[in-house]
Chain A
Amino acid sequence: MKFSPPAALFAAVIYSLLIAFRTDITVYDAFFALFLILVSIKEGLRPLLRLLRLNLIILFICATILFFHNDASYALLIFLRANLILSANLLLITPHGKMGIYYGFCGLRFPDKFTVLLFFVIKYIEILGAEYKKMRDSLKIRCFNPKTNLFTYKILGYLVGMLFIKSMEKAKSLHHAMILRGFKGKLYPFNTHPLAGSDTLLAIVLVAQTILTFWQVI
């Protein structure tokens, strides 16, 4: 099941806040995340694969707490919190692709200044990724295999340097393109996806989760 970007973004923020302020995590707190996993099974749980990778960092943080503060329960709390928040965010936002967050903020009627900036940030990360991939392909095609010698370091230096310069060049040409087309600080997104029926369900579950969480506190 797919939710509209603004609803997904809103729900992700609310749930993250609910979980972030909990001082002990119970099964009830996982209600919303489990609901998301259940409704996402049909589309596949690919987004959660990333969670595995992110867990390398989470586990590292937990391990530091365990070793330096000797506080197993706090380490466990952080582990659970981070995983709940991340899984909900991944399942809600990644199905909308790279621009999901942008469409979300547009749908939530955030000011143009903010959404336009966000749009260019996302677009730019994408451009940089593409540039990096192109240069990697170019090195591949020319049989470059990194070793531990000066030549390798020099080439890697070129790579970083060129990436930097190319990103400036791209920014310049993007800027010029916007000027030529009379950009006035406003974009006109089409795919903002109006609220859908599934969003009602999301809202109900979110309210239920909020009640559950507060009921535990009291």
Chain B
Amino acid sequence: MSCTLSLNNISCCLGDRTLFRNVTINLTHKDKIAVLGPNGAGKTTLLKAIVGLQTISTGHFEIHHKRLETEKDFALARREVGFLFQDPDDQIIAPTVIEEVAFGLLNEGMKQSEAVAKAEAMLDELHISHLRDRITLNLSGGEKKMVALASVLVMKPAILLLDEPSAALDAKSENKLAEILKGIDKTMLIVSHDLGFIEKIGARKMFLTENGLIEG
């Protein structure tokens, strides 16, 4: 079995408080895991740790069997990872929607016309083409979430880390998103409180507790 993402014995302490310890899980390219847990359990912290935005106390991560240790390893690993922040405001940097979605592609050195075409296709797939030229700061909460998602999905990452993707979405957008995520054969860690949404994606449920990830 080839693992795309492994978490080995991860524990995280903030100050003198232990958020979680012994988090161990191996994910293959088909695994979709929903991470559940009460507010403040450390779900966001765990996701951030995987991409090196949060330091951990013990353990290590592997992506495609490569152990991540230095900031350089993490920087390379981030190319494989699509990360959706819990708060889309933290993520959006460009002034208009189309620029925001095309940013990652242009950043990789893609030609502008090509990048814009791909971004437009992505907007279309998520049914948000009408937002193309809107100012990102003026979008509604749910619209921002969809735009942030589009800019993550357009990169076609091998691993998706999604922090509450369905929060703030209306029923129609939520269904659409569930359908899309279900159709993607990629490694996914999805933090969500929405059991219905998780069912629709067909993700395996796991609970983050102080003593690790528990199947549930």
Contacts and interface: CB of A to CB of B under 8 A. Distances in A.
A155 B106 CA distance: 11
A137 B78 CA distance: 12
A142 B94 CA distance: 13
A210 to B, nearest CB: 40
A203 B106 CA distance: 62
Nearest to B91: A138
B75 A158 contact: no
Interface stretch (A40-48, A62-70, A161-169): A161-169
Nearest to B80: A143
Contacts of A143: 75, 78-79, 104, 107-108
B85 interface: yes
B83 A158 contact: no
Contacts of A159: 93
Contacts of B155: 142
B51 interface: yes
B214 interface: no
A11 to B, nearest CB: 29
B93 A158 contact: yes
Contacts of B16: none
Contacts of A162: 93, 95, 137
A142 B104 contact: yes
A7 B85 CA distance: 43
A72 interface: no
A136 to B, nearest CB: 10
Q: How many B residues touch the partner, as a band?
A: 20 to 34
**Max chain B CB contacts within 10 Å: which of A143, A145, A151?**
A143
B13 interface: no
B89 to A, nearest CB: 8
Nearest to A168: B137
A4 B90 CA distance: 37
Contacts of B108: 143
A179 interface: no
Given A137-B53, A165-B137, A142 B107 contact: yes
A155 B92 CA distance: 12
Nearest to B75: A143
Contacts of A138: 85, 90-93
Interface in A103-159: 134-135, 137-145, 151, 155, 158-159
Contact of B94 (A140, A141, A158, A165): A158
B93 A155 contact: yes
Interface string B59-93: 00000000000000001001101010100011111
Given A138-B91, A142-B107, A155-B93, 14 more contacts: A134-B89, A135-B90, A135-B93, A137-B90, A138-B93, A140-B53, A140-B78, A142-B103, A142-B104, A145-B75, A151-B106, A162-B95, A162-B137, A169-B137
24 contacts: A135-B90, A135-B93, A137-B53, A137-B90, A138-B90, A138-B92, A138-B93, A140-B75, A141-B51, A141-B83, A141-B91, A142-B151, A143-B78, A143-B107, A143-B108, A151-B107, A155-B93, A155-B103, A155-B107, A158-B94, A158-B95, A162-B93, A165-B137, A169-B137
